[in-house]
Structure 1
Amino acid sequence: MNKRVLTFLCLVLNIFFSILIVLLNKMVYVRIGFPNVTLSMIHFAITFLGLIICEKLDVFCIKDVAIKEMVPIALTFCGFVVLTNLSLEHNTIGTYQVTKMLTTPCVVVMQAICYKKKFGLLVKLTLIPIIAGVVINFYYDIRFNILGTIYATLGVIVTSLYQVWVSRKQKEFQMDPMQLLYYQAPLSAAMLFVIVPFLEPIGNTLQHSWTFTDILMVLLSSVVAFFVNLTSYWIIGYTSPLTYNMVGHSKFCLLLLGGAIIFHESLALNQAIGITLTLIGIVLYARVKMKDGISNISRLTLEEGKPLYKT
């Protein structure tokens, strides 16, 4: 299959599975009360199992790499998943999703400071309404809480670091998304396995009055998480962290709708204004990046003396 077609398919599937996983996880937290870190550990384990099956079916081949090279990215993966899930657990779906939009400006700042990447003035200006909209949303969120805000903020920072590292490490080791995830998933599961007994006593989980529906919800959430991870890795690895974030923002309106219908979450007027402002910033940012991309392609083509289009 053509790489462009496969990437587009992954974008569509990622949007679908990402929306589904948020709604499923929220239901698991709200209606079942399943412990957060334990659920993340199960997600990682199921993801590793899915990758073993894919490898046996010759979907990809395992590439040897030193385990120590994978430890930092596995740590950030743990932090990324656990913190965003904690944000989802303690915030409304609307606030959870709006906060994730801060990942875009955070990725820009990290790449500019750590890797000296240059961004144009228009790109920087489009980040202002994004940040302002998120701040307004938090200020007027009727379910605002300090703990949820802390989790959301830490989640944005770790998620940004994780996305930048995934993109760079994949290029550094010449590994495709599934090869990288094959090492990362079991390492992350093992790390969480060590800390779960201290954060979430296993006895409390085992003593829960489990129903068939409860077990099915947890398993379904884990399977969907595997496909979210798989499609996310493909997008980050074969496009860029910023593209991944911009595509991800298209899920926002559908998640708001899902939160309103399923969990009866409502928005204050000023909160809606903040969300609208953020979305405007996102749209402007996407347009600027698209124009920059077209300009760079045209410039490189002219420098090489090649025609822009085949005739």
Structure 2
Amino acid sequence: MAVSEALKLRDSGRLVLGLLVNLASSICIVLVNKWIYVQYGFPNMSLTLVHFVMTALGLWLCQALGLFCPKSLRPSRVLLLALSFCGFVVFTNLSLQNNTIGTYQLAKAMTTPVIIGIQTFYYKKTFSTKIKLTLIPITLGVILNSYFDVQFNFLGILFATLGILVTSLYQVWVGAKQHELQVNSMQLLYYQAPMSSAILMFVVPLFEPVTGDGGIFGNWSSTALVMVVFSGIIAFLVNLSIYWIIGNTSPVTYNMFGHFKFCITLLGGYILFKDPLSMNQGLGILCTLCGILFYTHFKLGEKEEEKSKLTQRP
């Protein structure tokens, strides 16, 4: 019994640590990336490529240090995940570049309803009516904020919508692939990050300059380069923690935890970048937060019911 309790405590400690790493790195990367776009004008896809390369290098270093043992996988089994990873990061970064941090963060809240839709219709997973009803205030809050955003623009909303769709698919596939291929987060990302880097190397020259003014190999200041490398290191922590959390919980739980992060990120956006906030946007944020809180309350209640049923079984 004591051993069982110790294992539960250890697992809980690891989960809390993983959530804290994801919390800190996710908030930092939004604020650092926004700073890089605003202060230096570094190209979006090129920054994404740096993120992928840094993630691949970080995983290579981890396996060299013996932190995990790579598992042999056929590239075709990971290709779809790599493509969705490219779309996930590119579209979310384009959304960040073309929207206020408030709209960017609230648009990401729509990932939860989309994930629930995908898991319901394609994976035949069931959710209680109470859980489904919490999506109403979340969706309403996002619509309110987006409609009254003083910096509303069609391009920004288009990128945000594409980002929601691709991110939802990516997060569902991350969990599904770990179970399907019987690999852990590091083993899967070890294959997927270099593959995503290779794909993006062919895409970047089609949309952005490679050399010269504004190119990835342009004449950037040492401060700008330090910030870009710093952003890449944070991206490695974000990507690794996303895989680990989804693999150990679920895409919906990860997403709801993500909504908690948006409150802190919003505050940083308004303080650092002076993003305007209208009364109607404030109501939208409050509405979304209410939905998140109700979801958390109902989800915890359902887990307690499941535990009590298991303990009552003979």
Normalising by structure 1, we get a TM-score of 0.95
Aligned equivalents of 1:257, 1:231: Cα separation in 2: 23
Q: Deviations over 1:207-230 (max 9, x none)?
A: 743111000000000000000111
Secondary structure at 1:202's aligned position in 2? coil
Match of 1:14 among 18, 22, 27: 22
Matched AA of 1:226: F
Secondary structure at 1:119's aligned position in 2? coil
1:265 matched to which residue of 2? 275
1:54 aligns with 2:73: no
Match of 1:74 among 82, 104, 110: 82
Which segments of 5 or more consecutive residues in structure 1 lack a partner in the other structure?
306-311
Matches within 5 A, 1:182-261: 182-203=190-211, 204=213, 205=215, 208-261=218-271
1:136 aligns with 2:144: yes
Secondary structure at 2:134's aligned position in 1? helix
Aligned equivalents of 1:4, 1:295: Cα separation in 2: 19
Normalising by structure 2, we get a TM-score of 0.94
1:302 aligns with 2:273: no
Which segments of 5 or more consecutive residues in structure 2 lack a partner in the other structure?
1-6
Q: Deviations over 1:252-302 (max 9, x none)?
A: 221111111111112000011011001100110111111111212222333
Is this contact kept in 1: 2:18–2:245, CA < 8 A?
Answer: yes
TM-superposed deviation, 1:62:
0.3
CA RMSD of aligned residues (A): 1.2
Is this contact kept in 1: 2:175–2:246, CA < 8 A?
Answer: yes
Do the aligned partners of residues 140 and 8 (structure 1) sit closer, same or farther apart at CA in structure 2, a change above 3 Å counting?
same
Is this contact kept in 1: 2:210–2:218, CA < 8 A?
Answer: no
Q: Deviations over 1:17-59 (max 9, x none)?
A: 1000000000111111111111111110110100011001111
Matched AA of 1:112: T
Aligned equivalents of 1:210, 1:141: Cα separation in 2: 33
Matched AA of 2:248: Y
Aligned equivalents of 2:184, 2:123: Cα separation in 1: 22
Aligned equivalents of 2:32, 2:162: Cα separation in 1: 22
